[in-house]
Amino acid sequence: MRKMSICLFVLGWLVFAGLLQAQQVCPGLPYVANTPEDELMQAVNGADKPEEQVAALDKYAQEHGDAKFMPCVDEYYTMVYLKLNNYDKVVEYGEKGLASNYKDVMLMLNLLKGYVASGKVADSTFDVINEAPAVITAESKPARPPSVSDADWQKALEDSAAQAKDELVYVVYAFLQLVPRVSDPNKRIEQLDRFAKTFPEDAAKSAPQINYDYFIAYKMANKPDKALEYGEKTIATDPNNLLAHNLLAYDYAIGRTNPDKAADYAKKAIELAQQMKKPEGVSDAQFKQEQDSQLGMAHLSLGYVDFTRAATSKSKKLGPAIDELKAAADLLAANPELQGQALYYLGYAYESGYPANHRGAMDALSKAASLQSSWKPQAEELLGKVKKAASQASE
């Protein structure tokens, strides 16, 4: 351990060793022998268990909480808590370290790892992502230490460049994992815009995911024109995106903006849903429920398209619409909102035929009214009208 502290005392060797071996820990915060920092590092590096490392860090923090070395202590906390899979603590100490205006690559990456694994996100996370390229670049190009051969220095620079590339890959990965967690759609759009400016090449490479994230954000923000624009971009860059096909089909159908596109996208969604493969770790029941939901949504869109087409055609044939809506209602058992919608339209279709099928309409509307969905009031209202019509017809 004494040998380690002496090596770390020599700043030039520290930089060079960091380049040749691995990502640097706390660059710019060196420590010398026979100091509390040296004692801490010996305790941390000599510990057999992560819990012992935490205890050593706690002791130093309690005794030297105002030391300039504290950002490095926070960084070590993030490293140890990552080992312990305690991601809330990783985030806590990562945020604390960055709040001291000290930034290095390992601290920033550890914080991002903590957020990705914790399932959480914060506005500050995206500041870290957008600042990361500059910090990574700066660390990958340190001053050349004395007495280093040209060959060794060139090799060190090549290794450092490769490491910087890997670090940026993780930053991009973290962004793609974190941005869907932003609940405010306008903030999500803002972060997507920032990412496109900071990482233009990566945004282009990740176009299928970026376009889809924009699509969902604009839908959430109730901006249908932009949503349709990015929905089309999503399918153009990712032709097998099942959910994008389903969402576009639904928007074009229910919005009555393009029934032909709605039908095409819904049919493609059915094809893709039938080709779904069960992921590892997913039960048969969970997989079937997801597959049924996707199929049901596609049949709902097709049913609505057939219903509106029948209403404007001379034949007024509602059979195809009824078949599609019945299929949708059966498949959407796990989604009361969409099932309620399918049943409401089904009841409407039964009642719109000639002669009206009052019994079919009442059965469908009764089921729709029994579900906790936004369609419940409409189903109850229409059910009342159908019952009245049925009563008058029987007199």
The tens digit of pLDDT for each residue in 293-316 reads: 999 999 999 999 999 999 887 777
Rounded to two decimals, the pTM is: 0.87
In a domain, 256, yes or no: yes
**Tokens found for residue 203:** 């945004």
Considering the chain, what percentage of its residues have pLDDT values greater than 90?
Answer: 78
Number of C-beta neighbours around residue 292 at 10 A: 17
Instruction: Check whether residue 26 and residue 145 sit in a common domain.
Output: yes
In a domain, 330, yes or no: no
In a domain, 283, yes or no: yes
Q: Cis (ω within 30 of 0) for the bond into 355?
A: yes
Instruction: Check whether residue 222 and residue 313 sit in a common domain.
Output: no
In a domain, 33, yes or no: yes
Domain region containing 369? 335-395
Distance CA 380, CA 388 (A): 12
- Chosen domain end from 134, 156, 181: 181
Instruction: Check whether residue 36 and residue 166 sit in a common domain.
Output: yes
pLDDT level of residue 23 (50, 70, 90 thresholds): low
Distance CA 3, CA 78 (A): 25
pLDDT level of residue 248 (50, 70, 90 thresholds): very high
Instruction: Check whether residue 63 and residue 197 sit in a common domain.
Output: no
- Chosen domain end from 325, 349, 378: 325
What's the CATH code of the domain at 114? 1.25.40.10
pLDDT of 172 > 80? The answer is: yes
Instruction: Check whether residue 215 and residue 251 sit in a common domain.
Output: no
Report how many domains make up the chain.
4
Instruction: Check whether residue 343 and residue 319 sit in a common domain.
Output: no
Instruction: Check whether residue 212 and residue 79 sit in a common domain.
Output: no
Instruction: Check whether residue 160 and residue 41 sit in a common domain.
Output: yes
Distance CA 220, CA 266 (A): 21
Instruction: Check whether residue 41 and residue 132 sit in a common domain.
Output: yes
In a domain, 344, yes or no: yes
In a domain, 194, yes or no: yes
pLDDT of 12 > 80? The answer is: no
In a domain, 24, yes or no: yes
Higher-pLDDT residue of 160, 89 = 89
Instruction: Check whether residue 16 and residue 158 sit in a common domain.
Output: yes
Instruction: Check whether residue 303 and residue 186 sit in a common domain.
Output: no
Distance CA 213, CA 221 (A): 12
Instruction: Check whether residue 29 and residue 135 sit in a common domain.
Output: yes
In a domain, 28, yes or no: yes
Residue 159: what pLDDT?
87
Question: Quick one: average pLDDT of 366-392?
Answer: 95
